[in-house]
């Protein structure tokens, strides 16, 4: 499922990318105009996720998010049937690029991590560190 997240949903975008979703974000794309957003989601076959009621009403398969808090937003998406869980890192949380595994590479500031993933697009490296663990805790919390 490919998603497009409207402005003000940057935090939610990061979570969704960590869960492996192809999640484009309005501010990354420099798109804020309603018509441009609708055209882009149609062209790329993305489901719009927005807090804007009017904009949501203009597409059939959009997801309207009402909460301000990201944990509550995740609960709403789970209620809409999205699978929110972590397995292997697959998407860059910064730019939405796809990640490739770099076996044997260890970042200097995380020497205990065995496996590192690198973004094909921006080159940033990821591993399952403390941030990963905190996201995992949040996702467990919304299942309760």
Give the span between the Cα atoms of 98 and 20, in whole angstroms: 9
**Strand, coil or helix: what is 135?**
helix
CB of 85 to Zn ion, least distance (A): 21
- Beta pairing, strands 22-25 & 2-5: parallel
Give the span between the Cα atoms of 37 and 134, in whole angstroms: 32
For position 121 contacting Zn ion by CB under 5 A, the verdict is yes
Nearer to Zn ion, 94 or 102 (CB): 94
Provide DSSP, 13-25.
HHHHHHTT-EEEE
The site string for Zn ion over 84-103 (x = CB under 5 A, - otherwise) reads --------x-xx-x------
**Strand, coil or helix: what is 50?**
strand
CB of 93 to Zn ion, least distance (A): 8
The site string for Zn ion over 2-41 (x = CB under 5 A, - otherwise) reads ----------------------------------------
Nearer to Zn ion, 56 or 90 (CB): 90
Among 24, 119, 135, 139, binds Zn ion (CB under 5 A): 119
């Amino acid at each position: 499922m490919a998603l497009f997240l409207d402005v003000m949903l940057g935090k939610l975008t990061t979570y969704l990318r960590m869960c492996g979703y192809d999640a484009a974000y309005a501010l990354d794309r420099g798109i804020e105009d309603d018509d441009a957003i609708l055209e882009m989601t149609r062209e790329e076959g993305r489901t719009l996720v927005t807090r804007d009621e009017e904009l949501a009403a203009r597409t059939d398969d959009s997801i309207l998010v009402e909460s301000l808090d990201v944990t509550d937003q995740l609960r709403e998406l789970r209620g809409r049937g999205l699978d929110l869980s972590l397995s292997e890192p697959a998407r860059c949380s910064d730019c939405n690029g796809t990640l490739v595994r770099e076996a044997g590479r260890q970042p200097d500031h995380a020497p205990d991590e065995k496996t590192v993933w690198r973004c094909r697009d921006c080159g940033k490296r990821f591993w399952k560190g403390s941030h990963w663990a905190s996201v995992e805790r949040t996702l467990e919390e919304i299942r309760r």
